[in-house]
Amino acid sequence: MYTNNKLRNVAIIAHVDHGKTTLVDAMLKQSHIFRANEQVAERVMDSNALERERGITILSKNTAVMYKDIKINIVDTPGHADFGGEVERVLNMVDGVLLLVDASEGPMPQTKYVLRKALEQGLKPIVVINKIDRPDQRIDDVYDEILELFMELGADDDQLDFPVVYAIARDGIAKLNLEDESDSLEPLMDLLVKEIPAPQGDIDGPLQLMVTTLDSDEYVGRVAIGRVMRGKIREGQNVVVISGDGEQKERIGKVYVYQGLKRVEVPEAPLGEIVALTGLASASIGHTVADAENPEALPTINIDEPTLSMTFGVNTSPFAGREGQFVTSRHLRERLFKETETNVSLRVEETDSPDTFKVSGRGELHLSILIETMRREGYELQIGKPEVIYKEINGQLCEPMENLTIEVPQEFMGTVMESLGTRKAELSNMTELKGYLRLEFTIPARGLIGFRSEFLTNTKGNGIMNHVFRGYAPYKGDIPGRSRGSLVAFEQGETTPYGIYTLQDRGTMFISPNQMVYEGMIIGENSRELDMDVNPCKKKNVSNMRSSSSDEAIRLTPPRILSLEQALEYINKDEMVEVTPESIRLRKTILDKAQRGRMRKTAK
């Protein structure tokens, strides 16, 4: 059994916003990866534009630092449960995890989700309690909560005896005891080298490598990333790519390893190293790259099933093709199926219509990130209402359930509890924090659709909510939908200030003056239950009569502008969201007013 003592592979796992990417920044800076005069962006690992805007990690990424002649491969993982597919894959590449927990918030739902996956794989954990300089820190309580969490997740004795480091990741400081003096991350790095096991295996055996991530390069094409589980891998080597469909002979082009944020070409990489390979056209996530003479497959990666689906269709509105570059069903089909190659927890299915596809994912955020990415690439599409995926288990209809954690000031507790009661949520735990209440619920996944915007309104923006998939449970019964109808334009044209002014008393507007609308487009929310067809393009009649009020300026209430997630949450079953690179519009599935009326009558 060979042990590669010059190497450590570790993943950093944490809840959203607990400082994971900031800690990696500090490690990179202290290992002198950057030149002294180099301008370095904050959260350098969040390289994707959407990650920077939202302040969350969406894609797992690899980097490496050198510490006292030992190379440490670091994998930065997403903290959001919707991107759990990313986490499950990359945990196969490492031997240990750094569990990062906020010194005030303590372990949160997503921490629990990723930690469970890590413990199931028998990985060695090191706990880092971060942000110890917060005025509201409660380090002792947080430590107890972490210990309880480990016991709840069934950690073995070795995992329960986890070492703890106290850190201020933003300042690049870590210490083993709170009273210690420290001005660097050295105590953490020393502990990491000592506690995380070095990769072990048969270095002289036939090659085995599991592909866990795919990347693409405009010069070399597909790049397969994975860890060498057995043997060595070298440039130009003949290999076999083993998938569920059989074996494919391939030849490795170049072999790269990670140094800092760069990939460096090497002639050969030994057991335990995380490598990026070119030349493997047939390699996909979960496939094994094996020796050509003795091909042996590694166990496949099990990914949790999707829980939410939406229909993606070609844009059929009167404004189709005005703003986007890719508008046909062929473009849409190619893009969606290409996404499934790298996004393992996504499913794309054909439907009866050649212009519509059923796309299933892990949650609203997972799917809305895909939609947002596509619109930025120049795609036009229309999206149907999100629907949960039901299963029949032992002859009983079951639906996905979520663990929902909410933090609210005490004065908003009543309205939040009332709102969740109608959504079939059950309270499981309540904890009092400084001025806040932390409430834990079990709620059907469909009860969360549309809840976030309502929750922020009810708490006046002071509430924090997080949720994570719990499992399937028997169907909980009907949940009432949206209580208000839509204001629908009944003709195409340009909106006028006068037309909008006459409609303001009818409900909340989603549009501004001088904006183009079409028949069947939703321009606002009705203050009553039913839909109403209206004309926002109405012009003021001109006459030669003077009136005392005619010259008064028209005062318009600012419209409510919906983000992509809010639009997806808002729509009913007979409505869609039209997404283009420049606009997000709401519309009725059937645009013609007369046809909608006939459909309503037949439905009755």
Domains and CATH numbers, the chain: 2-199 (3.40.50.300), 202-291 (2.40.30.10), 308-388 (3.30.70.870), 391-474 (3.30.70.240), 486-542+550-603 (2.40.50.250)
Tokens of 161: 């005896």
| Residue 505 in marked binding region | no
The answer to whether 572 is a known ligand-binding residue is no
Which pLDDT band holds residue 383 (cuts at 50, 70, 90)?
very high
User: Is residue 131 marked as binding?
Assistant: yes
Nearest CA-CA partner of 600 in 563, 574, 578: 574
pTM to 2 decimal places: 0.72
The amino acid occupying position 562 is L
- Please check whether residue 128 is in contact with residue 165, taking contact to mean a CB–CB distance below 8 angstroms: yes
Say if residue 331 carries a ligand binding annotation.
Answer: no
- CA 265 distance to own-chain centroid: 31
Instruction: Name the token pair of 439.
Output: 């409430």
Q: What is the pLDDT of residues 125-165, one digit of tens each?
A: 999 998 888 888 888 988 998 898 888 888 888 888 889 99
Q: Three-state secondary structure along 555-567?
A: CCCCCCCCCHHHH
71-103 pLDDT tens trace:
888 887 764 444 445 566 678 888 898 888 888
Beta-bridged to residue 443, according to DSSP, are 402
Question: Is 136 labelled as part of a ligand binding site?
Answer: no
Calpha distance 97→91 (Å, rounded):
9
203 annotated to a ligand binding site: no
The answer to whether 122 is annotated as binding is: no
19 in a labelled binding site = yes
Average pLDDT rounded to a whole number, residues 208-232: 81
The pair of three-digit structure tokens given for residue 338, joined into one six-digit string:
């290409």
Q: Is 520 a known ligand-binding residue?
A: no
Q: Is 307 annotated as a binding residue?
A: no
462-513: per-residue pLDDT in tens?
787 877 778 899 998 888 877 888 999 998 999 988 889 888 888 899 999 8
